[in-house]
Chain A
Amino acid sequence: MTTPRLILLACAALIGLGLGDELAGVLGAGRPWVFAALCVVVLVAAGELWLRALAGEAMPPVLRIGLATAAGLVSLPFVAIVLHVAGVGIRARSIGAGLALVVTVLGAIVLLRERAGRPPGDPRLPGAIAAVTIPALLAVLTGFLTLSAYDRMPRPPEPGYTSLALNGWAGDIDGPLSIPARGVVVPLRVSRAGLPAAAEPLRVRVGARLVSGRALAVEPGVTRAFFVHVPAPPDSCLHRIEISLGVTSTVFYGRGPAGRGSAGC
């Protein structure tokens, strides 16, 4: 392929990648495949331009295919590093612009170089490209079918669990809580996966004292919030407050209303 055509091909593929969101609606579910193919075109074209700009001589087809792919691939980290050094964030548009710059600069160098003469094209190259792409495409298809078959196979159940967490404002408790005389309503969150539905004992302890207990129904695959009333500790000393559900629990610390028995702490 002549250099101007190669540059045009790379630019067209870059424009296609740049139109990502606009093309997404048209392409639908095929978008990832189309965009991956465009990405391959850009990278291989950039790699080929690297080779023409630097080596600039005829070479065996497999050597050319391999080096062009490798050089194309490394264009991405080079562009990313240059963007980083320039203080530009690494985003789709900046990478696309960087690649466009690489293609333009390399293309200009190659065109200047080719004014003195262009190495003859290798007639074996199309055959070698087919020898790489056909098995590679077949392999992609095989891989896709293999993974689909694997996905459909029955799997052993994964180990289940029940989790209990402080929720809402209680999730932000970062020190001893001052609890008024009327007590406090603590929001919690329970989640269960891989275990059958059950009624788990829900208990509240202030210090060593069990202050409430009831059963809470917990269903598999469901995450829900609930509230627990925690009475005020008997004095303003620091008390351990535990809310447990089955074998899981949350623990925080609190003090009763000021003035209650603080002397004995």
Chain B
Amino acid sequence: MTLTRLVPDDRLELAVTVPSPAPARERTGWCAATLVVTGAAGAALLVAATNAAEWDTGHQFGLFWLGMLVFTLPAVAWLVRRRTGARLRVAILTAYACFTYLPKLLRTPDGPLFHDEFAHWRQASDILLDGRLFEQNPIVKVVGDFPGLHSTVASVSALTGISIWHAALFVLVVAHLLVVLGVAVLAEEIWRDGRTAAVAAIIYSLNSSFLFFDTQFGYESVAIALLVWTLVALHRAMRGPAGRVRLGWSAVTLMLCAATIATHHLTALGLIGMMLILCAVASVRALRRRTPRAVTWTAWALTGAAAALVVAWLSVVAPRTAGYLDPYLARALDQIAGMAGDSGEGGRTLFRESVAPWWEQLAAFGAQGVTAIAMLAAALRLRSRPEGDAVSRSGALAMLVLGSLYFPAALLILTPSGAEGARRSWAFSYLGIALVVAPVVVAILERKAKFALLAVCAVVMVGNTAAGMNPSYRFPGPPVFGSDTRSSTPEVQAASDWLRSTQGRDLRIVADRYSGLIFGSYGGQRPVTGSHSFPTYDLYLAQPGRAVSPRLIEQLSSWNFGYLVVDRRMAREVPEIQIYFETNEPVPHSDKPAFTLGQLTKFDATPWTIKIYDSGNIAIYRFDFDSLDQPVRR
């Protein structure tokens, strides 16, 4: 028995209209020629942009977007043509997905650079060295509890003999392609139209995380692909005929769901949230007898099973996750309350001191306006044109609810602690936006407004990317202290190499955020950058001649911390991202450096710190707590 309307098999593909073979071949040739030429030109312009950024000429923004748009706009134009065939659409989507990985590839061709990439690189490296999973990561403490990504990368590296970084690139490019194709297939499940499906994939690719954040060597990059394909399988399970087929799709749903959970905490929670929205919508519709009950029961059963898997993983395998995530949300809510209060404190100014050009900043605000208008139009369209079967309709309404959550998250972007979470949430909520706005775009395309839509598409891509990623993540350039991506210099690398080669790996060291990234990844050490309960930053904050808290010394001594890394740039420069150690550090932040040179060089005159290495900016000291109170003759 089929619970929903049967769909002819030939419609279940990314095409509605299959053109006659001869003209289709002709167009395929033209399309291929256009995209090969524009792809090559785009790649050359992206290389020019990267090189311009390295020399700090200031032309990188214009060259970058020219390079992106010279390929993506023709690709989109070919995709949205009514007469484009199914295979050609799939080929263009594949080319589009691969091309949109190029900016990240050029940004990090050789090794990790973004903050979380160091953590995953280290974790994969440890698996290859020790052969064990679930080891605690010294850079992001919960990374080890979610081994999906780094175990995949380590396995590919071990099987093929390629480096960890190349194995990671292989996995990430595949995941990026899976996201694009997955959104198209999910849209096809809902709208039953190949053109709408292709448009949905393109709209999703406009989200702020698509080009740089969700392409990094980070767990969400793979988890989001798994989330999208889990939703595809869930729709299949809901729609499928009762019995063995539905059970089969339910098993596929749960398998992908389990993989998502083993890969990333937030994506797993996001997936459960999406499934709950879908269940709620289907339940309301079932009460009004618009959705067969078996569809609703299937959705609830799979959501319940998925939720049980998440709860079991978070409580048994990864119990530290709640403690890791909780402070971010709590602080963000505090800061929103602070902003709403009389003092107006707790907020952040968007694009403060950003080097992004004015037109990128303008596009960032414009993109939000375009998104709001598009969502309004999508809501009106859904209300006025109830189309599709029960599963499609429930899916579309659930995606409308999901897409609407994009806007409350904008509140969080105004707070320092919530900004990170808001950006991450957009990768989820934009899925809803993409899926419900796509038919609106197709309807507009019918009115011959292709060029206007391409222009809007360009503005949204520029604006969302500018809003989601700061320029030092997007482009190389001169070293900048206090930037996760640009503070790593040959000097810091050399210091970490020296420590590893002379003293060994897995040493417990005290460091700042930026040194910690290098020493904790390439250096193979176990850095600590401070926390409320283990305030190692107090070592640096102590004034010369003043004693360090005995409790902190006791903690360092009893936990076998052997080394202290001091970056003297902390006394000369203000970190670009306004963080010296960690987000909640009790360090004054202003336009002046928070440390004096005396605070950082005091260790040269304390008998419990032996200076074993110095390269001007970076000094490494060995702790000798037994000499703490020893008098030194001057």
Mark A residues whose CB is within 8 Å of B.
17, 20, 24, 31-32, 35-36, 38-39, 42, 50-51, 54-63, 65-67, 69-71, 73-74, 76-81, 84, 89-92, 94-96, 124, 127-128, 130-132, 134-136, 138-140, 142-143, 145-147, 149-151, 153, 155-156, 158-166, 171, 173-176, 191, 193-194, 207-208, 233, 235, 237-240, 242, 247-253, 265
Residues in chain B near residue A130, CB distance under 8 A:
87
B381: CB under 8 A from chain A?
no
Which residue of B is nearest A166, CB measured?
A: B612
CB-CB under 8 A from B158, the residues of chain A are 90-92, 95
**A149 and B627 form a contact (CB under 8 A):** no
In the complex, are the beta carbons of A74 and B47 less than 8 A apart? no
In the complex the two chains form, is A161's CB within 8 Å of B229's CB? no
The residue on A at minimum CB distance from B56 is A156
Distance A159 CA – B159 CA, assembled complex (angstroms) = 38
Q: Whole-angstrom distance between the alpha carbons of A97 and B54 in the complex?
A: 46
A57 contacts across to B, CB distance below 8 A: 240, 245, 248
Query: B44 to A92, Cβ gap below 8 A?
Result: no
Known: A89-B132, A173-B610, A191-B494. A67 touches B252 (CB 8 A): yes
- Are A39 and B160 closer than 8 Å at their CB atoms? yes
* B170 interface contact, C-beta 8 A: yes
| Whole-angstrom CA separation of A163 from B502 in the bound complex | 14
Partner of B610, one of A56, A63, A156, A251: A251
**A70-B256, A150-B50, A161-B494 known; A139 and B612 CB under 8 Å?**
no
Q: Tell me the bound Cα distance from A173 to B94 in angstroms.
A: 58
9 smallest CB-CB distances across A and B, nearest first, come from A89-B131, A139-B98, A163-B615, A74-B259, A80-B151, A35-B160, A161-B491, A251-B611, A60-B12
- Judged by a CB distance under 8 angstroms, whether B605 is at the interface is yes
Q: Is the interface of B mostly helix, strand, loop or mixed?
A: helix
Q: How far is the CB of B127 from chain A (nearest CB, A)?
A: 6
State how many angstroms separate the Cβ of B285 from the closest Cβ of chain A.
Answer: 25
Given the known interface contacts A77-B147, A77-B259, the answer about A158 and B88 at a Cβ–Cβ threshold of 8 Å is: no
CB of B98 within 8 A of CB of A136, answer yes
Q: Contact residues of B with A, CB < 8 Å? A: 9, 12-14, 36, 39-40, 43-44, 46-47, 50-51, 54-56, 86-88, 90-92, 94-95, 98-99, 101-102, 105-106, 109, 127, 130-134, 147-149, 151-152, 154-156, 158-162, 166, 170-171, 174-175, 177-178, 181-182, 184-185, 188, 222, 225-226, 229, 232-233, 236, 240, 244-245, 248-249, 251-252, 255-256, 259, 262-263, 478-479, 489-491, 494-495, 498, 502-503, 604-605, 607, 610-617, 622, 624, 626-627, 630-634
Separation of A65 and B87 alpha carbons in the complex (Å): 13
A-B contact pairs, 14 of them (CB 8 A): A51-B252, A56-B248, A70-B182, A73-B175, A76-B155, A142-B39, A147-B109, A156-B478, A161-B617, A162-B616, A163-B616, A166-B612, A249-B614, A265-B631
Given A63-B185, A96-B159, is A80 in contact with B615 using a C-beta cutoff of 8 Å?
Answer: no
**CB closest residue in chain B, given A59:** B12
Q: Is B612 touching A66 in the complex (CB atoms < 8 A)?
A: no
Q: Would B182 and A66 count as touching, CB distance under 8 A?
A: yes
Closest to B148 in A: A77
Complex Cα distance A207/B158, Å? 53
**Shortest distance between the CB of A103 and any CB in chain B (Å):** 14
Q: Is the CB of A176 within 8 A of B630?
A: yes
Query: Given the complex of chains A and B, what is the CA–CA distance between A251 and B566 in angstroms?
Result: 14
